Structure 1
Amino acid sequence: MALSIVLTLLSLSRTVASRPWSLLSHQDNIRETYDYIVVGGGTAGLTVADRLSESGRYTVLAVEYGFLTKTDIPGVPNFPTNGYNITSAPQRWLNNRTFPILLGCVVGGSSAVNAQALQRGTTIDYNIWGELSGVRNSHWNFDTIQHYIRKAIQLGGPPHPGIAAAYNISYEPSNYGHNTTKHSIFATYSIRHTPAVIPVYNAIKNYQGVDVPIDGTVGTNGLFWIPRSMDPVTFNRSYSRTGHWDDLNRKNYHLLPGTKVRRVVFKGKAAHGVEITPRLPSVTFKGGQRKITIKARKEIIMAAGAIHTPHILQLSGVGPADLLKKAKIPVVVDLPGVGANLQDHAHHPNIVYNWSSPPPIPATDPTLPPIPPPSSPEFLFGPGLVLLQGLPSLSPTRYKSLSANLSAQSPSMYLPPGTHPTLIAGYAQQQKLYSQAMLRKEFSFSIAAITGSAPTTGPQLMHTFSRGFVSLNLSHPDPFDSPPVVDYRFGSNPLDIDIVVENIKYFRGWYTSPFSQLSRYVDPLSESVPGRQYDTDEKLREWVRNNLWPSVFHPVGTAAKMPRDWGGVVDEELRVYGVKRLSVVDTSVFPTLIGATTSLTVYAVAEKAADLIKARA
């Protein structure tokens, strides 16, 4: 731990010594007032700050708790140096286990430490957001998000023609942007390839219920290849720092890393500024001050992520009034939805078999690019082959009854006791839309990454029915000095665990079903995880309770874009209800999960948010 802190401080000191002048240290002359203050210098925050400052008309300050450390080379995130050290509340329905909450704590946020998968949700994922707007003709839908994805993400490197032919990699170039300037987030297909995946790909392609769309951009699910967020030349990580900060050197765009935003300061109901303090106890602002307030002329924009945005709002007096009163925080506006509606993808250990005899690997064209060495970035994160499936494919005999089960539930049945009536009303709307979506193939409930090296699969649950929360830590004497309480409450709605069980049975069939071309190569008696002894649904449920993780580090929903009387926190324009000059632009605003990794959609939402904010400037 001590070594990690020393290395972080050395990295920070080297960076600040050679920084562009627009990167502030705490000794620099921070302006007293900016037009816009962005709370968070991560995936959403740097995107919005870049777009608001690019015209030169407005001054913008982005404040980031993490340091400016270099994370260009992909690999395992370096926690705690580049990550928050937060542990979940004990998960009652997962045998009271606790889990690390791994979030990027560095300039660039989680885009600096993630696995670089660029996926987008399906048509139904984004159209549900429009349905949850509570208005006709909502401008939040699949087509709008597609438009902003094209603005946010540029196709840097299409698949190599020879590799594409050998591995059946297809893609739709019109669904990407084509701005090849340096300051972009790039979607790139790696030149890494492995012939061992070809027979596995062919077997899955021919398995019952599997569709093969042109790629993952067209609004459906199925079996397809995805690009990574990589520079098309170096194959290093392409993320919000490289795309929206490095080398911009704008006089009107400042970044202040290593700094904690304690709270938003209000004058009446209008957001006036942010109270900030250096992260390191030995550091002070000019004049020796440890705590100062920076003012915003136009707007304060929350972009601290689905865990920290609601926490800062609550510390600022925006949230459930009963919670704030218990914490002795003056109530600015009573918004029960702040911190509620927490959702995340979930995963469990791989389903593991052994090959009885590996499937024959076809010879590939010897003129294809050589497979990169293990030390290279394109080797670490090569092209990704994924399968996304809806319930009609995962559970063809049970999907209708599972949908009916959800539809029959009282909306308050599995929410926390004492849940505010507006939150119950909002969940009722989600429940209605989800029970309908469960009948459709394109509403993904499972994703699995495919490799050809071994008969193992680690599926993830992509939509959940349980709802958790983020809250002030009332057991700590000073909530400002304590991380938030994070409770996923996974499994509080038993349908979550029921569908994970259906997932396991489906992927067992990949390898052992008579309908699978792989069954001839797999010994069904060789299953080591979960293991042959888990031969009933109830036994599998218990295995899930002992082994599942309730998070894939994609938290969403804690400041949801829904009507206020449905428990929403922000309106269609992403403005916080009940106050002025305050908005939210990160995954907090997602009312529901998407059936995909979240970073690509975060960039799109941030691009759209920047347009909304500029339109009201």
Structure 2
Amino acid sequence: MDISQVSNVFWDYIFVGGGLAASVVSHRLSQFNSSLKILLVEAGPNANDRADIVWPNSTNLIGGDFDWKDRSVEQSHVDGRIIDLPSGKALGGGTVINTAGWLRGDKTDYDLWGSVTDDPRWSYDGLLPYMRKSEKLFNDTLHPDQHGHDGPMVIQTSLSTNRTFPLREYALQSWAELGINPLPDFDSNWIHRLGVGDLQENRNQGKRQIASVVYPLDGVTVLTDTLVGKVLIEKKAEHEDSVAVGIRLASGTEIRGKEIILAAGAIRTPQVLMLSGVGPADELKKFGIPVLVENPDVGQHLADHALFFHAWKVKDPAAGWTYGSPNPIFQEPQYGWGQPFDLIVCSDVDKKGLAAAIAEDEGATPDPSTHPLLAKERVFFEHLFMYTGATDGSLVTIGAITMLPTARGSVTLASADIKDQPLIDPNYLGTAVDRYVIREAIKAEVKFAGSDATVVGREILDGEVGAPGFDGVLTTESTDEYIDARIRAGLGTSEHPMGTTAMGKVVDNDLKVKGVKNLRVVDAGVFPVVITGHLQVAVYALAEQAAEIIYAEHSKTT
């Protein structure tokens, strides 16, 4: 169907963005009622049949054809650096370019979500059925009350695909020597995820599973390579709510429908809202955009998980520990079926130092019995011990991901033109807490890799590589100042933006935009709290429940 035909139809649902959430919700709505007229408009291409993005070692991912290639504004706490912020621009969205980590986060996160919204549907128990609905776990007996076995998304681990890495037992011993022990049955999606678990990936025998393939869009009309400029919003009287009546494409074509669903992600959805006249009044007036609904929270409260990598030398590359070494197992085909590591390690942080950092941020000594970061154990960071780093097997790579950032950033407009990237400020390391947490994460990893406290440090590795522009390397004797400088120079993103259209602030508990009828948001922007997982699992669950909420309302009105 071409644009002229599309514009002549009055649609039941129009989706702005064709990524993960839109694929799930539109698929489910079409399943519920095949007579629904559903339109999905995606700015990027259809990548469903592209063979160059299927495998973990694909080269056309970040920075390729399916990446918005966004960049941050200068980051004041990271030496003024401008940081690349990859984001999926294709049918299927981020599932086209992500690393396929299937990690839902901790029960505490979701219970906080349910608490701040005063709505049990968004608690862990409320979302668990939808997490289970989306997945088909590799093992029917692994905590069956927590996992799904009939869903569309196939989940694998290294062991389920017969990838037993030579360093696995040494890594497990080393984490145990540091007091970090296995989760129940190594389940990295256990209720509380502090500990060591097997990396779970949504891959089917190594192959990428794109949301728009796994949730087929057969009953949905899809426009790709089509940019939406704004939502058409009308206001008939001063005392009445505004009403969304359709969309205007960047080309100027207008398309009308009963309900508009923004699913363009935590960066593009607030941009579209603001260009449509919904957002902070000062921001809109700056670009001559009429203020239809003033909401200062649109585009605010941006959170993202930051990432820092460091490389370590292998004492004996010929021993066959890593990819690139002479070990023949790495030539077996299944070793190309997933990421080059097998364990996800989640840690808390020393509470005394954390309390001091909180006091620096908040200007008062926190009460350890009530402060949400102190009152219970929390997942502050993930450690990744990756069995790769050099083509000759001489290096390994270690990564730290900050899972519970307290700094908040923003998405604001650069212009009144949808074709211009918005101004994205993740505000990385913008709090003393965030700076303390990542410093402690690096210290823990240095102890793991570069000290006699662990078997990996004693027998396998031979010092950190260092970084360009720095004298010395990371060691257990490194000063806080040196560690902080290294972090500022190397910090990047985990590609997990969230919170810019937060539930309770921008949308209500049914995902409806406040002050605008017939307009909803379904993407990671609605998360009102930080999720300490890799966000796709939470978005799948959000979308599965959203589809039921939306269709239940449809059924009441027909």
Q: Structure 2 length normalisation: TM-score?
A: 0.85
Quote how far apart the aligned CAs of 1:229 are.
Answer: 1.4
Give CA-to-partner distance per residue, 1:409-432, whole Å, 9 cap, x none: 449x9xxxxxxxxxxxxxxx9x99
Alpha carbons 2:178, 2:448 under 8 Å: kept? no
CA contact (8 A) 2:306 2:401 kept: yes
Cα deviation for residue 96 of structure 1 reads: 1.1
**Equivalent in the alignment of 1:457:** 398
- Pair 1:102-2:79 in alignment: no
SS for the counterpart of 2:29 is helix
Which structure dedicates a bigger proportion of its chain to strand? Answer: 2
Match of 1:220 in 2: 192
Q: 1:239 aligns with which of 176, 201, 210?
A: 210
Identical aligned residues as a percent: 27
Q: 2:522 aligns with which of 585, 592, 614?
A: 585
- Deviation of 1:350 after TM superposition, in Å, equals 1.6
Aligned residue identity for 1:216 = S
From the superposition, tell whether residues 595 and 200 of structure 1 become closer, same or farther in structure 2 (CA, over 3 Å): farther
The match for 1:175 is 146
| Residues 199 and 359, structure 1, Cα contact 8 Å, conserved in 2 | no
1:50 matched residue in structure 2: 27
Distance in 2 (CA, whole Å) between partners of 1:327 and 1:90 is: 22
Amino acid at match of 2:29: L
Residues 97-122 of structure 1 show CA distances to partners (whole Å, capped at 9, x for unaligned) of 11122111111101111111111111
Distance 1:433 1:110, change over 3 A: farther
Q: Which runs of 5+ in 2 are unaligned?
A: 236-241, 322-327, 389-394
How far the C-alpha of 1:556 sits from its partner, in A, is: 0.5
> Post-superposition shift, 1:91?
0.9
Distance 1:382 1:242, change over 3 A: farther
Aligned equivalent of 2:354: 402
- Corresponding residue of 1:521: 459
Matches within 5 A, 1:483-494: 483-494=421-432
In the TM superposition, what is the alpha-carbon distance from 1:591 to its structure 2 partner?
1.6
Structure 1 position 508, deviation (Å): 1.1
- Map of 2:233 onto structure 1: 266
Write the mapping of 1:423-442 to structure 2, written as runs, cut at 5 A: 435-441=371-377
CA contact (8 A) 1:88 1:487 kept: yes
Query: Which structure 2 residues correspond to residues 95-134 of structure 1 after superposition, within 5 A?
Result: 95-133=79-117
Superposed displacement of residue 45, structure 1: 0.8
CA drift of 1:339 comes to 0.4
- The residue aligned with 2:490 is 547
Tell me the residue number matched to 2:325.
none
* Residue matched to 1:418: none
Matched letter for residue 385 of structure 1: L
The aligned counterpart of 2:287 is 327
> For residue 277 of structure 2, what is the aligned residue in structure 1?
317
Q: Which consecutive unaligned segments of at least 5 residues does structure 1 have?
A: 1-23, 160-169, 278-289, 362-368, 414-428, 563-567
Q: TM-score, normalised by structure 1?
A: 0.78
CA-CA distance at 1:484 after TM superposition: 0.5
Deviations 1:161-188 (A, max 9, x none): xxxxxxxxx94344332226xxx22213
Amino acid at match of 1:266: I
Mapped to 2, the partners of 1:226 and 1:88 lie a distance apart of 29
Letter in 2 for 1:271: A
Q: CA deviation at 1:455?
A: 5.1
Shift of 1:323: 0.7
- CA, structure 1 residues 97+450, in 2 after alignment: closer, same or farther (shift >3 Å)? same
Counterpart check, 1:345 vs 2:305:
yes
Count residues with an aligned counterpart: 518
- Preserved contact between residue 353 and residue 456 of structure 1 (Cα < 8 Å): no
Partner in structure 2 of residue 89 of structure 1: 73
Aligned to 2:506: 569
**In the superposition, relative to structure 1, how do residues 149 and 348 fare at CA in structure 2: closer, same or farther (>3 Å)?**
same
CA distance in 1, matches of 2:537, 2:6: 35
* SS of the residue 1:341 aligns to: strand
Tell whether the 8 Å contact from 2:25 to 2:544 is kept in structure 1 after alignment.
yes
Amino acid aligned to 1:128: L
Q: Cα RMSD over matched residues?
A: 2.9
Separation in 1 of the partners of 2:370 and 2:35? 44
Deviation digits for residues 303-345 of structure 1 (CA, Å, limit 9, x no counterpart):
0000000000000001001111111101111111110001111
Offset from partner CA, 1:266-303 (integer Å, 9 cap, x none): 121011101114xxxxxxxxxxxx42211112x21110
Give the partner amino acid of 1:237. R
Alignment partner for residue 466 of structure 1, among 404, 407, 412? 407
Tell me the equivalent position of 2:444.
506
Give the Cα separation in 2 of the matches to 1:607 and 1:571.
17
CA contact (8 A) 1:197 1:451 kept: no
Whether the 8 Å CA contact 1:68–1:257 is kept in 2: the answer is yes
Q: Which amino acid aligns with 1:544?
A: I
CA deviations 1:383-416 (Å, max 9, x no partner) are 732111111xxx3xxx2341353256449x9xxx
Secondary structure of residue in 2 paired with 1:612:
helix
Q: 1:347 and 1:381, CA in 2 relative to 1: closer, same or farther beyond 3 A?
A: closer
CA distance in 1, matches of 2:307, 2:553: 41
Q: Trace 1:20-39 onto structure 2 (pairs within 5 A).
A: 24-26=1-3, 28-39=5-16
